[in-house]
């Protein structure tokens, strides 16, 4: 069997890759387990140094990796370069801080005992990663976990096999031992068998909530730890005192980054009555000014959707919303050109329970809701099964922080678009998943937090209550 890598801007086949067959899959799992037995004992300073090397490899080959991402999934080239740099940043970050985050913690306990909390690696961790940020999603998993002493096995999205191979090569070139990071080019139907394999000790997934439920069910039956970063329908709340020029400028960026294909993109724009008309007019004008075109062209703002079927699904959601009473202010029809292009689209007057109200729209489509006041804005922001990110826009920063605390989300930003940062925990609540990536929290997700009790006076009485 083979996997084709296809350029969504042209429909051309870039390259064909052989799938990992069942025998090869088992062999790679065995090699990963063997590699872990040695890797876990490698001094963390060495692991950190190798991560820094990986960051250097990324920066030295930025153009090559950026063009690979752009050709495989359509990301505008400037954004692809920024993604490579962000991957290097996360390598640098854990290259500097991993030892600090994982050092033993001496905890005051019984006066006649020394009690320590240690953080020890678990073993081979399976990472099931999406196509929309084909390098970043992988590196934000790999950097902390390889630093912690785990080994990684990557099941990447089927439309970015070239990115999957390139990432494995990066770690090899950086000096990581063979099989500490392995790519499995397998079909999604094989994931369950991999999770059930005794050699896999944990699973992390970034993807849809449907995929998350399936992975969690299988991993739960095997009593294996999971981290799930799932979909989002992030609210972008505009209050009456919002700095309008900055708000509109950032709103466009927050909706259209990665051609609108981001879990943490602003998708529902919730605007109070007093500034609703002004916001809609200015926002629609700025959305219309964005350039749709060849993602390899430096002037392009929006490239193609990553696959034709994803464009079809997005358009169906828009059409159904309009049929139920929504109004198209801009866009709303696929671009009449070769490739899977969808234009910047603005939908208002969205009825309750329409797809644009209840579902995640994974593309350059913004829905705008009119609300009477701040309280109604918060209520609408939380009226979703998702809970990944949210932002609020206001001139009053104290008010902004108060509103941010009211959001039912894992991330809340005031006067800034929602984004990930290696220094801060990243993840969601509700149907957006659980667990955290990045920062200290992320490196401690797949470790054994072990209590070690050293009794220093054996003659003392012991408390036998559990």
Which CATH number do you get for residue 246?
3.40.309.10
Q: Note whether residue 425 is domain-resident.
A: no
Q: Please indicate, yes or no, whether residues 216 and 247 belong to a single structural domain of this protein.
A: no
Residues annotated as catalytic are 229, 263
DSSP 257: G
Residues 213 and 245 grouped into a single domain: no
**Distance in angstroms (rounded) separating the CA atoms of residues 231 and 216:** 15
For 75, the token pair is 């990301």
Q: What is the mean pLDDT of residues 240-250?
A: 98
Say whether both 275 and 350 belong to one domain: yes
For 363-420, how does the pLDDT look when each residue is reduced to its tens digit (9 = 90+)? 999 999 999 999 999 999 999 999 999 999 999 999 999 999 999 999 999 999 999 9
Per the DSSP assignment, residues forming a β-bridge with 237 are 270, 392
Q: pTM for the full model?
A: 0.96
325 and 221 in a common domain:
no
Question: What's the pLDDT tens digit per position in 4-37?
Answer: 999 999 999 999 999 999 999 999 999 999 999 9
Whether 266 is covered by a domain: the verdict is: yes
Cα dihedral across residues 256, 13, 160, 155: positive or negative: positive
Are both 226 and 197 inside the same structural domain?
Answer: yes
Say yes or no: 125 and 268 in one domain: no
Tell me what pLDDT residue 137 has. 98
Length reported for the chain: 466
Q: How far apart are CA 344 and CA 259, in angstroms?
A: 9
The two three-digit tokens of residue 374, written as one number: 């701040």
Averaged over 255-275, what is the pLDDT? Answer: 98
DSSP code string of 357-389: HHS---SSEEEEEEESSHHHHHHHHH-SSEESE
* DSSP state letter for 348: E
Helix (H) or strand (E) holding 434: strand 433-434
Using the predicted structure, report yes or no on whether residue 128 has a pLDDT greater than 80: yes
Is residue 438 domain-shared with residue 409, that is, in the same domain? no
Dig out the tokens for 107 from the structure.
């905890």
Are the C-beta atoms of 427 and 437 separated by less than 8 Å?
Answer: yes
* Neighbour tally for 116: CB within 10 Å: 15
Average pLDDT over the chain, rounded to whole?
97
**Structural tokens at position 354:** 């329409």
Domain that holds residue 75: 2-230+432-452
pLDDT above 90: residue 282: yes
**In a shared domain, residues 197 and 59:** yes
pLDDT at residue 466, rounded to an integer: 61
Mean pLDDT, range 107-114, rounded to an integer: 91
Cα–Cα distance measured from residue 325 to residue 381, given in angstroms and rounded to the nearest whole number: 21
The model's confidence at residue 460, banded by pLDDT at 50, 70 and 90, is low
Query: What's the maximum distance between 2 C-alpha atoms anywhere in the chain?
Result: 84
Is the domain of 252 the same as that of 302?
yes
Give the Cβ contact number of residue 289 at 10 Å.
10
Check whether residue 261 and residue 207 sit in a common domain: no
Structure confidence at residue 463 as a pLDDT band (50, 70, 90): low
Same domain, 443 and 354: no
Q: What is the DSSP letter of 42?
A: S
Q: What is the DSSP string of 64-114?
A: HHHHHHHHHH---HHHHHHHHHHHHHHHHHHHHHHHHHHS-EEE---TTEE
Per-residue model confidence (pLDDT) at position 442? 98
CATH number at residue 213: 3.40.605.10
Q: What pLDDT was estimated at residue 368?
A: 98
What is d(CA 340, CA 335) in angstroms, rounded to the nearest whole number? Answer: 8
**Average confidence (pLDDT) over 423-443:** 98
pLDDT at 462: 53
Question: How confident is the model at residue 457, as a pLDDT?
Answer: 80
């Amino acid at each position: 069997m083979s996997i084709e890598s296809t350029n969504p801007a042209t429909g051309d086949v870039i390259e064909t890759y052989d799938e990992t067959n069942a025998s090869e899959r088992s062999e790679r799992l065995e090699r990963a387990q063997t590699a872990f037995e040695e890797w876990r004992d490698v001094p963390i300073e060495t692991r950190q140094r190798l991560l820094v090397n990986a960051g250097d490899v990324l920066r030295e080959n930025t153009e090559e990796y950026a063009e690979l991402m752009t050709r495989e999934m359509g990301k505008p080239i400037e954004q692809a370069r920024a993604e490579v740099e962000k991957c290097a940043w996360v390598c640098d970050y854990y290259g500097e801080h991993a030892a600090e985050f994982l050092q033993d913690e001496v905890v005051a306990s019984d006066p006649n005992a020394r009690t320590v909390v240690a953080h020890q690696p678990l073993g081979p961790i399976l990472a099931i990663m999406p196509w929309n940020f084909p390098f970043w999603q992988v590196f934000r998993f790999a950097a902390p976990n390889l630093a912690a002493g785990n080994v990684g096995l990557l099941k990447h999205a089927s439309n970015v096999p070239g990115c999957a191979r390139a990432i494995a090569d990066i770690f090899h070139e950086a000096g990581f031992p063979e099989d500490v990071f392995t790519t499995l080019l397998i079909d999604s139907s094989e994931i369950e068998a991999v999770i059930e394999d005794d050699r896999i000790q944990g699973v992390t997934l970034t993807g849809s909530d449907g995929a998350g439920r399936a992975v969690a069910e299988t991993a739960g039956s095997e009593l294996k730890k999971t981290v799930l970063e799932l979909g989002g329908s992030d609210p972008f709340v505009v209050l009456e005192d919002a700095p309008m020029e900055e708000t509109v400028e950032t709103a466009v960026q927050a909706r259209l980054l990665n051609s609108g294909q981001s879990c943490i993109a602003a998708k529902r724009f919730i605007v109070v009555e007093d500034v609703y008309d002004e916001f809609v007019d200015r926002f629609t004008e700025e959305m219309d000014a964005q350039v749709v075109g060849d993602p390899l062209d430096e002037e392009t703002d929006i490239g193609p959707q990553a696959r034709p079927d994803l464009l079809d699904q997005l358009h169906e959601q828009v059409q159904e919303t309009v049929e139920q009473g929504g109004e198209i202010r801009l866009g709303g029809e696929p671009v009449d050109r070769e490739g899977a292009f969808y234009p910047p689209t603005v939908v208002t007057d969205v009825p309750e329970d329409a797809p644009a109200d209840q579902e995640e729209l994974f593309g350059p489509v913004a829905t705008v809701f009119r609300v009477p006041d701040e309280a109604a804005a918060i209520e609408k922001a939380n009226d979703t099964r998702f809970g990944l990110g949210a932002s609020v826009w206001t001139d009053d920063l104290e008010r902004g922080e108060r509103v941010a605390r009211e959001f039912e989300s894992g991330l809340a930003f005031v006067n800034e678009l929602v984004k990930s940062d290696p220094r801060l925990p990243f993840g969601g609540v509700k149907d957006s998943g659980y667990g955290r990536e990045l920062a200290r929290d992320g490196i401690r997700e797949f470790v054994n937090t072990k209590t070690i009790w050293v009794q220093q006076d054996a003659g003392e009485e012991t408390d036998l209550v559990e």
